[in-house]
Amino acid sequence: MISDAISKLEEALEVNPQKHDAIWCLGNAYTSHGFLNPDEDEAKVYFDKAAQCFQQAVDADPENELYRKSFEVSTKASELHAQIHKQGPLQQAMGPGPSTAATSTKGSKKKKSSDLKYDIFGWVILAVGLVAWVGFAKSNVPPPAHSPPR
């Protein structure tokens, strides 16, 4: 699903490479893809691409606070990724000893991991929706009313 979004955003940027909100959305998609990837090296590649997109968005619209914050946070993404994926295996290893309890703990941990993925997807979708809404609102502003000449 994220790969489809990335390819569609890249297509949109081929049409209009200066569309800073699409660049920002692409950065969010790369960030999400990185967080969902358990391999730190592969995730870092996505985080680097996201940082490049966020930097391009900042360059295109330096007044946009959201773009600047996204770029700042993207520099910390690798650390957060390591912490998130480090906690998952540790929690499973520290589960109780009995096999029936361990089985239910694994199921519960998988559910929590799945919940985390859905939480991340939800926030990304919300952010993309808000940016799209603001972008459309800005592009469809009616012209100011002209006062009659004096």
Task: For residues 6 and 148, give the distance between their C-alpha atoms in angstroms, rounded to a whole number.
Answer: 49
What pLDDT shows up at residue 107?
58
Instruction: Provide φ and ψ at 57, rounded to 5°.
Output: -65, -40
62, two tokens: 């330096």
What pLDDT shows up at residue 83?
84
Torsion angle of alpha carbons 121, 125, 127, 130, nearest 10°? -160
What pLDDT shows up at residue 100?
45
Residue spans of the domains in the chain: they are 2-139
What pLDDT shows up at residue 85?
80
What pLDDT shows up at residue 97?
44
Which of 150 and 75 is assigned the larger pLDDT?
Answer: 75
Instruction: Provide φ and ψ at 25, rounded to 5°.
Output: -65, -40
Global confidence as pTM: 0.57
Which of 56 and 2 is assigned the larger pLDDT?
Answer: 56
What pLDDT shows up at residue 147?
66
Q: What is the CA radius of gyration of the chain?
A: 20
CATH topology of domain 2-139: 1.25.40
Residues 6+ apart with CB under 8 A from 36: 2, 117, 120
Name the nearest CA neighbour of 77 among 109, 44, 106, 119. 44
Check whether 79 has a pLDDT greater than 70. Answer: yes
